[in-house]
Structure 1
Amino acid sequence: MNSKFIIQSSFREIAKSHPIWEHSFLHKCRYQELTLEEVKLLAVQMYKFCKEFNRILASILSCCEDENAQMVILENLYDEMGQGKAEKCHPELFRKFTRALGIDDRTLASFSKTPETNNLINTYMGIAPEYGYLAALGAICYASEGIVNTLYTQLYKGIVGSGSFTKESLMFFEVHIDLDTDHAKKLAELIEPKITCHQQEIKVRQAILKAMDARVIFFDGIERQIFNGNFAVNPLLFKS
């Protein structure tokens, strides 16, 4: 069997077999058990991560001297920025969703990241300095772009089960479900030929696992807010 195929399969298996898929919050999404208030809590924290994703890509770019890798990162970043169209940049697409939830932009900006959301952002930002740009791209490929189709499909199901939304308001999710599979493919094609020793493979595996674990903690944070009754302490968020 081709060694590159084995490496690719092993990386994918880390994400595929990760405990995140058994998380109780995702279970609620799959069975459409989320309330609208719970979706609002999720949306605010997802937005905080979404807004930082461009900086995460840029931080990896700043550590990368390989020109071919730079081009792939820049292409991904260009798509995240709506290919130069402000109304199509991904944070703006997400704000269309939060507006549909009744959360105006000023209110959205006023909410703080939870410790768990901060941990997710800091984890991604810290991978390149700790493990190198190749491992950081591995985390983006296999623990982000490569799982978005499955992850966002489940979140999407939970969201639409909580209320009525227009197609336009859910464009962020539809774009990512379709687009990120292509991003993952290009990243995988870039990463795998560059893994020339076992130590590099170990670093990529560690980066993928670290990113996946941080996503579990993120969903733990959403559930913590739900269990702590954050609906009551955020009256602006849950006004009718």
Structure 2
Amino acid sequence: MSPSTFVDSLSQPLQQRLRAIGTTQQFADGDQVMARGEVTTQLYVVEEGELLAQTRDASVPVASGEVVGEMAFLDNRPRTATVVASGPVRLRAIDREPCFQAFSDQPLLLNELISALSSLQRHRLQRDAETDQRSSTQLVDDLSEAALQHRAVRHPYLQALAAGHLPDLRFALEDFARHYYGYSAHFPRYLTALISCLEDPDHRQALLENLTEESGVYEQEELDELAAIGIQPEWIVGIPHPELFQRFRRALGVANTAVQDDHIEVLCWREMFLAILTNGSPAEAVGALGLGTETIVQTLYQPFVTAINGLGAIEARDAVFFPLHTAVDDHHQATLKQVAAAYAVDPQGRADLAKGMVKALSLRDAFWNWLHQRALDPDRTRGLAATTGL
């Protein structure tokens, strides 16, 4: 007999551990438990009563023994539904980080929990995709908007950089420049991996044009637009984007480093991202590089533009990598969104687009977490670099 609820599907030791952590919360009929779009990461186990999860297109009951909030809990993504109590409800609220700490002595139980929640997430994404009545274009637009609301794009690290609210802004930018290159320099590899898995020749050709621009080739219309915002053609024409980032590093005094010297955090990000592009379905790869990466670039790099301007020690030519990407990536986004729409015509494609997008954003969020910790304590970070080289 198959288990009747999510909690029933868990082993008895895991059920017992979950009952011992978190806090009990009571809600009256109609009370809001969470709101769509908010950035919180609690997982809620329904211990008694029933909830109503209200998505864009449907209202879904959530009975006793089930959970809500697994997507935010797993991926740090904004809430995808508004959840209210349908009558009196008793919940167990489990915070993400304390939960992980509580399972530090039982890694197998934590792995069981994460695996069960991931399976539930896949099931719910598939269910939502099957009942989604939006057009392909509208779905892609909505996913793109969801990407912009993700914590990876609104991260406290990015906000602190833009506001200058860090102990040593120059150190933070140097540390970013030192480590981010190990990811960004491989963008042509990412794009090539995506192109190789696409089935439509027109899609491949469109992305080959993006790849050409990555090597420093621009249309005259683009150069005119860039000149209007102060970017001179001689700064960028014929210069691959990784070299533009190297120019930024040199301006900060960051020495060039060999790929084998990349920090393990960078290595893991790069390899896990490449794995999505090479091992996932074409739709998942498009979701990762298109919706989860290219559609956020303009917004993502703006805090760095602001921070560099605030530092006031770097020439515009040396920092051109950032305004270049905040100014001209519109057509990159448009191209990839057109490709994504072609994969959003069936439930599996829609689910895979969302899955790839969330994976890419979650990897970036984890990287920002790491850089933020380093930026908040420059002395400790310098000490680690002196003793370990990291």
Amino acid at match of 2:240: C
Unaligned runs of 5+ in 2: 1-132, 219-235
Q: What's the offset of the Cα at 1:127?
A: 1.4
Partner of 1:162: 311
The secondary structure found in structure 2 opposite 1:151 is: helix
Q: Label 1:233 to 1:110 Cα distance change in 2 as closer, same or farther (>3 A).
A: farther
Partner of 1:238: none
Q: Does 1:200 align with 2:362?
A: no
CA contact under 8 A between 1:48 and 1:113: conserved in structure 2? yes
Q: Label 1:103 to 1:111 Cα distance change in 2 as closer, same or farther (>3 A).
A: farther
- Distance, in Å, in 2 between the alignment partners of 1:204 and 1:110 is 30
User: Alignment RMSD, CA only?
Assistant: 2.4
TM-score by length of 2: 0.55
- Distance, in Å, in 1 between the alignment partners of 2:239 and 2:302 is 20
- Identical-pair percentage: 25
TM-score by length of 1: 0.87
Partner of 2:152: 20
Partner of 1:41: 175
- Distance, in Å, in 2 between the alignment partners of 1:7 and 1:110 is 38
Q: Does 1:81 align with 2:232?
A: no
Partner of 2:288: 139
Q: What's the offset of the Cα at 1:147?
A: 0.7
- Distance, in Å, in 1 between the alignment partners of 2:351 and 2:173 is 37
Q: Label 1:111 to 1:223 Cα distance change in 2 as closer, same or farther (>3 A).
A: farther
The secondary structure found in structure 2 opposite 1:166 is: coil
Partner of 1:109: 258
Greater alpha carbon shift after TM alignment, 206-215 vs 224-233: 224-233
Greater alpha carbon shift after TM alignment, 75-84 vs 39-48: 75-84
Structure 1 residues 80-124: Cα deviation after superposition (integer angstroms, max 9, x where no partner): 11129885100110111111101243xx33783233322321232
Which protein has the bigger strand share?
2
The secondary structure found in structure 1 opposite 2:304 is: helix
Partner of 1:186: 335
Structure 1 residues 153-189: Cα deviation after superposition (integer angstroms, max 9, x where no partner): 0122123323411110011111111122210111112
1:201-240 to structure 2, matched below 5 A, reads 201-226=350-375, 227=377, 229-234=380-385
2:241 is aligned, of 81, 90, 95, to: 90
CA contact under 8 A between 2:190 and 2:277: conserved in structure 1? no
Q: Does 1:124 align with 2:281?
A: no
CA contact under 8 A between 2:207 and 2:335: conserved in structure 1? no
- Distance, in Å, in 1 between the alignment partners of 2:201 and 2:181 is 31
Q: How many residues align?
A: 233
- Distance, in Å, in 1 between the alignment partners of 2:178 and 2:146 is 28
CA contact under 8 A between 2:217 and 2:238: conserved in structure 1? no
- Distance, in Å, in 1 between the alignment partners of 2:136 and 2:215 is 32
Higher relative contact order (CA 8 A, sep 6+): 1
Partner of 1:173: 322
- Distance, in Å, in 1 between the alignment partners of 2:333 and 2:272 is 19
